[in-house]
Amino acid sequence: MTEKKRRAKSRGNGTGCAYWDPVHRYWIAQVIVDWRVSAEDKPLVPVKKTKGGFKTRDKALQYCPILKAEYNGPTAAEMTLQQIYDAWEPWYSPRVDPSTMAGYRAAYAYFKKLHETKITEISAGDLQECMDDCPKGKRTHQNMKVIAGLLWKYAKSKHIVSQIESETLYTGKGQSVKREALTDIEVEKIRQAIGKHRYAEYIYCLCYLGYRPGEMLELRKDQVIEHKGRLFLVEGKKTDAGRNRTVPVHQKIEAIIRDRLMVPGSNLIFPQYSFTKASKKAPVPLFTGFKQMSDNYFREMVFKPICASLGIAEGKVPYAARHTFSNKLKNAAGDDIDKAALMGHSDYTFTKTKYQSTDLDELAAVMDSVK
């Protein structure tokens, strides 16, 4: 049996084509001039240019090179790192927690000098140089490597780059930066600032809840339950410590939480207050409602200014409040599994298989022993 010979291609890829328009009864020349990145997890979408009115197929094909030369727009290979990021972020951000995404955004900012560079022209050396210039600690360097990997994998899936430039990036030998906890004296300063500084009670509550800042800002009033006169927060999303993580409200902040539950206009327990901008005609800003507070706003516009005004050690971040609770919890009575679950993780070395107790009284007893 003889193998059938394949007919040689008469036209190469990318040179264009021609097709008949039965409505107008003429031939149309068509070329692909670009490949557009879509936000969905799909291949690149071709951008086509056409011109009709040709009497024969040959004349339409002869015009294809001219049609392609008329297009002067950017090609997919000319996309800058910023353009890749702008396409990637709305596609990827729904897949992770807001706090994780905030970390990636912060890390991406340290690649600023490459933002307007074509991604096809950026080498691993360029990325490494940005990482070496970053003054932050190992955690930020690790996030920089992660975000670079995510962007290059996205670009590769769209056939814009052929290899991942981030795989050989070096994050450094140093230890991870240790975030210092707020001291008891600093926590007391924050307590005394409640009523004098807007949002001071948010920081104080964070010291006695153990939530990550982003987790606390997402808490809703419908996540609060009451058992034997005691308030509990039930977080519905899955964490390493299981689903429906239950956190008893510490007695030191119970009155604050009850007051927050009575604030009308928002289902969030810790929302951001919105005001109009001051002007010559209206020098006093007017309250316009509530919205969800972002991690960045809480860090830059709430935590840092309040700490600075109270003389709290410079350089501390909102996560310091979580470390404060963690330190208090270490000295509290109770089962280590429950302690791990109250923190929202299960990283105690002797077990990763058990989850938090469902006995609310036991959990309350652990929280009550937190000083």
Q: Where are the domains of the chain?
A: 17-73, 81-157, 184-368
Residue 215: is it exposed, middle or buried by C-beta count within 10 angstroms (0-12/13-18/19+)?
buried
How far is it, in rounded angstroms, from Cα 99 to Cα 105? 10
287 torsion bin: left (phi>0), alpha (psi -120 to 50), beta (else): beta
167-207 pLDDT tens trace? 778 887 544 445 678 999 999 999 999 999 999 999 999 99
* Residue 202 three-state SS: helix
**Mean pLDDT of all residues in 3-32:** 74
Asked if 235 and 247 touch (Cβ cutoff 8 Å), the reply is yes
Which H/E stretch holds residue 85? helix 81-92
What is the pLDDT, as a whole number, of residue 358?
52
Asked whether the beta carbons of 11 and 31 are under 8 A apart, the reply is: no
Dump pLDDT digits (tens) for 278-334: 888 888 888 889 999 988 899 889 999 999 999 998 878 888 888 898 888 888 787
Cα separation, 113 vs 109, in Å, equals 9
What is the structure's pLDDT at 10? 52
pTM > 0.85: yes or no = no
- Whether the per-residue pLDDT at 256 is higher than 90: the answer is yes
Exposure string over 299-336, b if 16+ CB within 10 A, otherwise e: beebbbebbeebebeeebebbbbbbbbeebbeebebee
The DSSP call for residue 303 is I
Mean pLDDT over 60-64 rounds to 84
Domain 184-368 of CATH type 3.30.200.20: no
Token reading at 159: 């056939």
Which of 11-15, 151-155, 288-292 comes out lowest in average pLDDT? 11-15
Least confident of 204-213, 216-225, 329-338: 329-338
Task: State how far the Cα of 333 lies from the Cα of 79, in Å rounded to an integer.
Answer: 57
Whether residue 237 contacts residue 212, with contact meaning beta carbons closer than 8 Å, is answered with no
Question: How far is residue 162 from each of residues 69, 120, 174, 287, 353, measured CA to CA in Å?
Answer: 26, 9, 32, 52, 41
Ramachandran assignment for 210, one of left (phi > 0), alpha (psi -120 to 50 degrees), beta (any other): left
Torsion sign (Cα): 101, 104, 108, 110: positive
The answer to whether residue 365 scores a pLDDT higher than 90 is no
Amino acid type, 195: G
Per the structure block, which two tokens stand in for 6? 């394949």
Least confident of 70-79, 138-147, 322-331: 70-79
**pLDDT at res. 292:** 92
Three-class SS state of 208: helix
Q: Which percentage of the chain shows pLDDT scores above 70?
A: 83
Q: Could you give the CA distance from residue 247 to residue 342 in angstroms, rounded to a whole number?
A: 6
Per-residue pLDDT, 364: 83
CATH architecture of 81-157: Orthogonal Bundle (1.10)
Residues 6+ apart with CB under 8 A from 360: 227, 228, 230, 232, 246, 248
Q: 155-175 in b/e burial notation, b at 16+ Cβ within 10 A?
A: beebebbeebbbeebebeeee
Asked if residue 4 has pLDDT above 80, the reply is no
Mean pLDDT of the chain: 81
Using pLDDT thresholds of 50, 70 and 90, give the confidence band for residue 128: confident
Distance CA 221, CA 258 (A): 10
